[in-house]
Amino acid sequence: MSEVKRSKSDAREFAQKLKEMVTLMEQRTRTAKIQEYLYRHVASSSILKQLHCLALKLANEHSINAAARLQLPEAELVPTLVDNNYFHFVLASDNILAASVVAKSLVQNSLRPHN
């Protein structure tokens, strides 16, 4: 009989602890959602609209244009990739604006290399 009474109190304690844990998790979830909204607001208000639009345009172009997603060059361009008379550059960056500035500068300087 004493075991039954003890198990009832253990079950009550377990239920109470479980309820406290659920309440704590709900509170953490609410706090995380509020932080998410705050961070989203800060990010959306701090990014210049032109940069945001550029990223969206490039992402849209990549998703729509199959040629933009093409990983391998066309077959007739392959000989130029191994030709040592050409300069080969690889530009890898997460910063779209910086990458476009570097690419533009590279093209301009390749058109007039001695200036």
Torsion sign across C-alpha atoms 27, 29, 32, 36: negative
Q: How confident is the model at residue 20 (pLDDT cuts 50, 70, 90)?
A: very high
> Mean pLDDT over all residues of the chain?
77
Q: Which residue has the higher pLDDT, 6 or 92?
A: 92
Q: Residue 24 and residue 28: Cα distance in Å, rounded?
A: 6
Worst-scoring range by mean pLDDT, 61-65, 69-73, 88-92, 99-103? 69-73
Which single residue is written with the structure tokens 């391998």? 72
Return the structure tokens found at 51: 């940069």
- Alpha-carbon distance of 41 to 14, in angstroms, equals 40
**In contact, 86 and 80? CB cutoff 8 Å:** yes
Query: Does the model's pTM come out above 0.85?
Result: no
Taking residues 31-37, what's their average pLDDT? Answer: 90
Res. 22: pLDDT tops 70: yes
Distances (CA, A) of 20 to 25, 32, 46: 9, 18, 39
